[in-house]
Amino acid sequence: MMDSMRNKWILIAFVWSAVFLITLYNSSEIKRLKLAREEIETLRMDEQFWKQHSESTAGISAEGNRLFLDVESVDLGLLTIDNRIKKLSSNHHLPPITLNRQPITASEGQVPVDISFTGSFSDAFRWFQTLNREMPFLKAVDLKISIDPVFNKAVTNGSFFFRYKIAQDDGAQKSSGGT
């Protein structure tokens, strides 16, 4: 009788052990499925966000690209803005404008430049509005406008940062390892 009772207890212990192991397995599977479901929901929400905001992010990206001028070298970029500024000055009836690169060492992506000219206050104001609209890659740092009492002209001196990106063609990137 003791043997049969002992066998029954072994059988009961074995059944409860199996129940316990199956419960552990089920709880780990539930956790795994819950994490997978949360990840799928996060990815779905990300996709929905990008669909809803793709136009605005494209616009922001385009506006960000306008803040830098793509140039092959800094000197070519300075020559480009010098020509553009002189064209703007002739369009706004201003005498020739001088553009000078400051001797301060430039940081990567921006070069300090000085711009100075003399002209009527209204022409100078319209010139600055056009400059801001057409050349957002020139960021004003310091502007000094004074009125010459003898000639009744605005004497304008400004310090700007010329922001640029060095443009590389695909062939140059491939040959240099993509950097």
Q: Give CATH for domain 69-166.
A: 3.30.70.60
- What integer pLDDT is reported at residue 177 of this predicted model? 42
- The per-residue pLDDT for range 113-142, each reduced to its tens digit, is 998 988 888 888 888 889 889 899 999 899
**Residue 169, pLDDT score:** 61
> How far apart are alpha carbons 93 and 90 in whole angstroms?
5
CB 96, CB 89: distance < 8 Å: yes
pLDDT mean values, one per 10 residues, the chain (179 residues): 84 94 95 96 93 82 82 86 87 82 71 88 86 90 88 87 79 42
pTM: 0.59
Q: In whole angstroms, how far apart are CA 48 and each of 41, 54, 55, 106, 159?
A: 10, 10, 13, 42, 44
Please tell me the distance from the alpha carbon of residue 142 to that of residue 111, in angstroms, as a whole number: 14
pLDDT, residue 106, reads 56
